Amino acid sequence: MTVPDREELLAVGARLAAEAARFSALGWMRATSGNLSEVLSTEPLLLAVTASGRDKGELRPNDVAVVDARGDAVDLPGIAPVRPSAEAGLHAHVAAVTGARSVVHVHTLNAVEAARHWPDGVLLHDLEMLKALDRDAHEDVVRVPVIANSQDMGELAERFDNVYDGAPAVLVAGHGCYVWGQDHLQARWRTEGLDWLLGAALRAG
Ligand SMILES: [Zn+2]
């Protein structure tokens, strides 16, 4: 097991803070909502996740918690413990199931609207922006699944398993979305692309 040292964790924390400030400026992480994570190790699974209860536009590098595969906080020697978001459990589950190294969870209006409009999943096709999800702009249909919201991360994880079929995103009804990738850039680009795609689908009805 590679235990991250303080310097490594602060570097990840700085990256998560910069990403959170970006999403906050887009209105997707209002107040203390949403959370971001990065995988620190896979054996065992450890993730760095943004701290709970902090303004996501003003995170500092040390506003980062380390969690295990269940989303429970892990205390590391020499690192002050920080309370992780309650949603860290789903981040860890998504990383374990999909192999993602970076997970974004934001509360976008387009995700909420699209989940209300298409509760059985959102079909996207014939849009150039599908390339942001590493799919073809033509002759390809991407189905972004929708799951019902819950405060129980185990329940959400089960619902995720029932709908996951390879698309790098899931909408949570009345809540927001989770999007993931191999690193923070891919996760960011997919999140921004997805929001545009959902907005385009909603306008088209
Ligand atoms: Zn949330």
Phi, psi of 127 (to 5 degrees): -130, 125
Ligand 1 centre to CA of 138 (Å) is 32
Q: List pLDDT tens digits, range 28-79.
A: 999 999 999 999 999 999 999 999 999 999 999 999 999 999 999 998 887 8
Ligand 1 centre to CA of 76 (Å) is 26
Burial 92-125 (b: 16+ CB within 10 A, else e): bbbbeebebbbbbbbbbebbbebbeebeebbebb
**pLDDT grade, residue 192 (50/70/90)?**
very high
CA nearest 159: which of 173, 171, 148, 144? 148
Ligand 1 centre to CA of 10 (Å) is 24
Whether 112 shows a pLDDT value over 70: the answer reads: yes
Ligand 1 centre to CA of 171 (Å) is 11
Ligand 1 centre to CA of 139 (Å) is 33
Ligand 1 centre to CA of 34 (Å) is 5
- Give the pLDDT of residue 2: 65
Whether 139 shows a pLDDT value over 90: the answer reads: no
**pTM for the full model?**
0.96
The percentage of the chain sitting over the pLDDT mark of 90, rounded to a whole number, equals 87
